[in-house]
């Protein structure tokens, strides 16, 4: 199936190596066309001007692939950082399990918000000081770049992660945060501490937005897609 098309467009750079090595797809048949974020994240509402907390937020599907137990373990390791708040916005198959862990560990610093409609999400992002992205330690899942990364960047937010593969490469290239290894709770806690010590958090957010503008905008996506379609419509 992979070798039948004239062109394959990939949303993650690491898919190229996978297609070449696992399926024998020629490099010249592969093009990179990453996802873009919804326009509603281009401008966020004004955040709360004065607050006594540092708010970290995960937003999206809550499933096994997202490895949010890693986030809870990091929250437990950083329990003594009393200003920290860990927000989880979304729903999914693992939500009940995560809530049970929070009750068992008495993690008062973890807040579940449930599923929210898309039009309300910018207001949640606005209150976050940094966004969280985690994935399970799976060699195929690590090839992906979840769409939330583009959304986080479009919103101009620093990113703190625990993943291997495409995600840490993008965070490093953008210079917008830190990323520990997949399922590495201690490493995630260390990355959060680096963020807490960072003297210029606003610069991280600005870097994220700049990288989004250079690589992930809707306009760029549509321009590249149109070029691809024209190329093969002759």
Computed on alpha carbons and rounded to an integer, the radius of gyration of the chain in Å comes to 19
Query: What's the whole-number mean pLDDT along residues 91-102?
Result: 97
Digit-coded pLDDT (tens) for 148-177: 999 999 999 999 999 999 999 999 999 999
Written as six digits, the tokens of 147 are 């769409």
At residue 211 the predicted structure's pLDDT band, cuts being 50, 70 and 90, is: very high
* 39-211 maps to CATH 1.10.260.40: no
Provide the residue ranges of all domains of the chain, joining segments of one domain with +.
8-36+216-233, 39-211
Query: For residue 232, is pLDDT > 90?
Result: no
b vs e for 101-126, b when ≥16 Cβ sit within 10 Å of the residue's Cβ? bbeeeebebbeeeeeeeeeebbebbe
Question: What is the DSSP secondary-structure string of 49-86?
Answer: SS-S-EEEEEES--SGGG-THHHHHHHHHTTT-TTEEE
Residue pair 7/227 in contact by the 8 Å Cβ criterion: no
Digit-coded pLDDT (tens) for 9-62: 999 999 999 999 999 999 999 999 999 998 888 777 766 667 899 999 999 999
State phi, psi for 166 to the nearest 5 degrees.
-70, -40
pLDDT value of residue 48: 64
Digit-coded pLDDT (tens) for 129-142: 999 999 999 999 99
pLDDT value of residue 42: 79
């Amino acid at each position: 199936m992979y070798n039948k098309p004239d062109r394959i467009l990939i949303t993650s750079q690491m898919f190229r190596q996978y297609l070449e090595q696992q399926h024998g797809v020629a490099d010249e048949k592969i093009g990179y066309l990453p996802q873009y974020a919804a326009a509603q994240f281009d401008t966020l509402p004004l955040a709360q001007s004065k607050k006594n907390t540092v708010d970290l937020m995960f937003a999206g599907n809550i499933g096994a692939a997202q490895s949010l137990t890693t986030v809870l373990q990091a929250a437990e390791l950083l329990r003594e950082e009393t200003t920290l708040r860990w927000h989880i916005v979304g729903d999914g198959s693992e939500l009940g399990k995560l809530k049970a862990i929070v009750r068992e560990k008495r993690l008062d610093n973890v807040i579940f918000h449930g599923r929210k409609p898309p039009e309300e999400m910018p207001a949640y992002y606005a209150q976050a000081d940094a966004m969280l992205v985690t994935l399970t330690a799976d060699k195929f899942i690590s090839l992906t770049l979840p769409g939330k990364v583009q959304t986080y960047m479009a919103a101009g937010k620093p990113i703190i992660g625990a993943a291997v593969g495409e995600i840490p490469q993008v965070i490093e290239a953008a210079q917008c945060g830190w990323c520990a290894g997949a399922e590495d709770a201690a490493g995630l806690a260390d990355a959060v501490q680096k963020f807490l010590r960072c003297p210029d958090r606003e610069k991280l957010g600005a870097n994220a937005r700049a990288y989004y503008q250079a690589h992930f905008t809707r306009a760029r996506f549509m321009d590249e897609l149109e070029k691809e379609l024209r190329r093969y419509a002759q």
